[in-house]
């Protein structure tokens, strides 16, 4: 104590400020201890923040997890899950086909589609949001004690992609989920299927008719027509970006994106179990002079969410696992 008593407070303040300014700018590998201190701070503050979050969620009505009619909700969920599985299998099939074409002698490079045996689902309450500046994570009540692993994907209502658990985002009992709409997420590639347009059935029919009326070349499989788009979070709860230029099909009207179409994740940087999950519905489309279309996609879910489902693919840790609720 005596050794510190002669330390000038002004000098100490200047030294502390200098050290903190340096820590703020040096790369993360020089501050590996920050995560541990953050965990302690999170633990210490939680007696205040957790009850307050509960109160806030009680006052601010979260997004309903299920529609009011249970039968309709069940049918809708089943339909969405079948669609999800269908598109995922088709994407995997197409990828395999491409690899077979290009690397016919390298069979071991084929990706392994997710099998149901590997996939586990964890239902977790959303405790609130957490983060600094422009980034806000969802804090969920599931952690490594429940077998949750980094890179797991969070969904709402079975097939609507909410976000994923980043590296360093899992603690024993809670985890952080970075929403796909957060600016920190960066760009994602989605596939928009012109045939899957719930808002405009006439467009679906026209596309099908146009695609099948081609007489010069073999008609493409209408279900295989899709447009890729690179979307980035717009900071207002949605994602926006350019769609790829539609391929010209002989004798057919090139497919275009219209409002109401469904955008599904088709990004190799995401885990296989996340592919073809619904990112959102096309809310607006603007055409550029060069014919490219600028899409704005909004997820079905809105914050605050009451709960999410976490899709975990890695094997559960021994003696753990199971739903958290």
Q: Which is nearer to another protein, 127 or 262 (CB)?
A: 127
Question: Binding to another protein (CB under 8 A): which residues in 66-125?
Answer: none
Q: How far apart are CA 175 and CA 127, in angstroms?
A: 10
User: Per CB under 8 A, does 321 bind another protein?
Assistant: no
Q: Which two tokens stand for residue 86?
A: 């269908």
Contact pattern from residue 129 through residue 148 relative to another protein, giving x for each residue in contact according to CB under 8 A and a dash for the rest: xxxxxxxxx-----------
User: Per CB under 8 A, does 189 bind another protein?
Assistant: no
Specify the stretch interacting with another protein by CB under 8 A; choose among 71-79, 246-254, 258-266, 302-310.
302-310
Question: Binding to another protein (CB under 8 A): which residues in 46-65?
Answer: 46-50, 52-53, 55-56, 59-60
Angle at CA 274, nearest 5°, toward 235 and 157? 75
Question: Binding to another protein (CB under 8 A): which residues in 248-287?
Answer: 269
Figure out which of the listed residues 178, 191, 210, 295 binds another protein, where binding follows CB under 8 A: 178
Distance of CA 287 to the CA centre of its chain: 26
Question: Binding to another protein (CB under 8 A): which residues in 199-238?
Answer: 235-238
Specify the stretch interacting with another protein by CB under 8 A; choose among 80-88, 160-168, 201-209, 285-293.
160-168
User: Per CB under 8 A, does 21 bind another protein?
Assistant: yes
User: Pairing state of beta strands 227-233 and 278-287?
Assistant: unpaired
Q: How far apart are CA 285 and CA 292, in angstroms?
A: 10
Three-state DSSP state, 76: helix
Specify the stretch interacting with another protein by CB under 8 A; choose among 6-14, 68-76, 95-103, 108-116.
6-14
Specify the stretch interacting with another protein by CB under 8 A; choose among 167-175, 214-222, 281-289, 310-318.
167-175
Half-sphere exposure of 26 (CA within 13 A, CB side): 11
User: Per CB under 8 A, does 11 bind another protein?
Assistant: no
Q: How far apart are CA 63 and CA 304, in angstroms?
A: 6
Specify the stretch interacting with another protein by CB under 8 A; choose among 28-36, 70-78, 96-104, 246-254.
28-36
Question: Residues in contact with another protein, total (CB under 8 A)?
Answer: 69
The answer to whether the beta carbons of residues 130 and 113 sit under 8 Å apart is no
Cβ-in-10-Å burial (0-12, 13-18, 19+) of 252 comes to: buried
The answer to whether the beta carbons of residues 299 and 279 sit under 8 Å apart is yes
User: Per CB under 8 A, does 310 bind another protein?
Assistant: no
Could you write out the DSSP letters of every residue in 202-246?
Answer: HHHHHHHHHHHT--SSPPPPGGG--EEEEEEE-SSS-EEEEEPPP
The conformation of residue 158, written as its DSSP 8-state character, comes to T
Q: Which is nearer to another protein, 87 or 137 (CB)?
A: 137
Residues that bind another protein (CB under 8 A): 9-10, 13, 16-17, 20-28, 31, 34-35, 37-38, 40-42, 44-50, 52-53, 55-56, 59-60, 128-137, 151, 163-164, 166-169, 176, 178, 181-187, 235-238, 269, 302-304
């Amino acid at each position: 104590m005596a050794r510190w008593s002669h330390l000038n407070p002004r000098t100490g303040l200047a030294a502390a400020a200098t050290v903190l300014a340096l820590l703020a700018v040096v790369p993360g590998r020089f501050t590996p201890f920050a995560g541990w201190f953050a965990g302690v701070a999170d633990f210490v503050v939680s007696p205040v923040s957790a009850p307050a979050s509960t109160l806030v969620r009680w006052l601010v009505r979260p997004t309903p997890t299920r529609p009011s009619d249970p039968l309709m909700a069940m049918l809708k969920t089943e339909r969405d899950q079948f669609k999800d599985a269908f598109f995922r299998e088709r994407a995997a099939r197409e990828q395999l086909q491409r690899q077979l074409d290009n690397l016919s002698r390298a069979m071991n490079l084929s990706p392994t589609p997710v099998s149901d045996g590997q996939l586990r689902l964890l239902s977790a309450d959303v405790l609130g949001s957490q983060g600094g500046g422009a980034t806000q994570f969802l804090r969920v009540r599931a952690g490594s004690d429940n077998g949750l692993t980094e890179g797991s994907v969070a969904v709402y209502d079975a097939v609507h992609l909410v976000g994923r658990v980043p590296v360093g985002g899992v603690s024993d009992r809670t985890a952080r989920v970075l929403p796909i709409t957060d600016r920190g997420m960066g760009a994602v590639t989605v596939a928009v299927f012109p045939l899957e347009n719930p808002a405009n059935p006439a467009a679906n029919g026209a596309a099908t008719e146009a695609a099948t009326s081609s007489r010069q070349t073999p008609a493409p499989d209408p279900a295989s027509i899709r447009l890729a788009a690179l979307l980035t979070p717009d900071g207002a709860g949605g994602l926006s970006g350019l769609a790829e230029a539609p391929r010209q099909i002989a004798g057919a009207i090139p497919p275009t994106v219209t409002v109401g179409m469904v955008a599904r994740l088709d990004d190799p940087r995401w885990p296989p179990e996340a592919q073809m999950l619904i990112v959102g519905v096309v809310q607006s489309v603007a055409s550029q002079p060069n014919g490219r279309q600028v899409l704005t996609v909004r997820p079905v879910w809105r914050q605050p969410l009451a709960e999410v489902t976490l899709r975990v693919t890695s094997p559960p840790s021994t003696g753990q696992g199971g739903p958290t609720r």
